[in-house]
Structures are given as structure tokens and as C-alpha cells.
Structure 1
Amino acid sequence: MAVVVARLNKSSSEVLKVNSGSFLSSAAMFFSKSFILSSSNNFYRLVL
């Protein structure tokens, strides 16, 4: 969890250098991945 927080802090500091389009696309990709992971974890809990 600490690694994720460190990555988020690093990426947030790099936002000023990166244009908003690529940042939004990477953020959308990150949130979709985390949503898929959490939903699959819930599914496995329901099955087991």
C-alpha cells in the first residue's frame, strides 16, 4: 500500500510536466484496473 501511495505522490508531482490528456487516460486506466481487481476479489469471496 505504501508503494501505491508513493507512486501516486510521484505521478501527482509529474502532472505539471505531462499534458492533461495523457494524465487523464492513465488515471482512467488505473481506476478501471483497480475496479476490475476489486470486483473480481468480491466475486471470488462470494464463490468461496
Structure 2
Amino acid sequence: MGIRDWGLGIGDWENCQLELQAKIRYGRLKKTINTAASIRQNFYRK
């Protein structure tokens, strides 16, 4: 059972992996920015 048996070339699979990693990184970055923004807001409210 290779990946090729599913009708996916290795190139396609690699592209999927790269896309997935990019999405995860982007999600983490967004979360970090949101957290920083909310901390800043709370700080200024006091």
C-alpha cells in the first residue's frame, strides 16, 4: 500500500504537507497576535 496506490503522486502529497504546515503556522501566528492584542487592551483599561 504505497501512497501512489491512492492515486496521489509524491509531489501532490508533499504539497499537501507544505500547505498543512503553512496553515498551522498561520493559525499559531494569528493566535499569538490576538493574545498580544487582548493583553494590551486589558493593560490599557486599568
* Range into which the TM-score falls when normalised by the shorter chain: 0.5 to 0.7
Other structure's SS at 2:28 match:
helix
The answer as to 2:27 corresponding to 1:37 is yes
2:3 is aligned to 15
The answer as to 2:16 corresponding to 1:26 is yes
Task: Report how many aligned residue pairs link the two structures.
Answer: 36
1:6 is aligned to none
Cα distance between partner residues in 2 of 1:25 and 1:37: 18
TM-score (norm 1): 0.63
- Bigger radius of gyration, 1 or 2? 2
TM-score (norm 2): 0.65
Q: Which has the higher contact order (CA 8 A, sep 6+)?
A: 1
Uncovered stretches (5+) of structure 1, i.e. residues with no partner: 1-12
Identity in percent: 6
CA RMSD of aligned residues (A): 1.9
Please report how far the alpha carbon of residue 16 of structure 1 lies from its aligned counterpart in structure 2 after TM superposition: 4.9
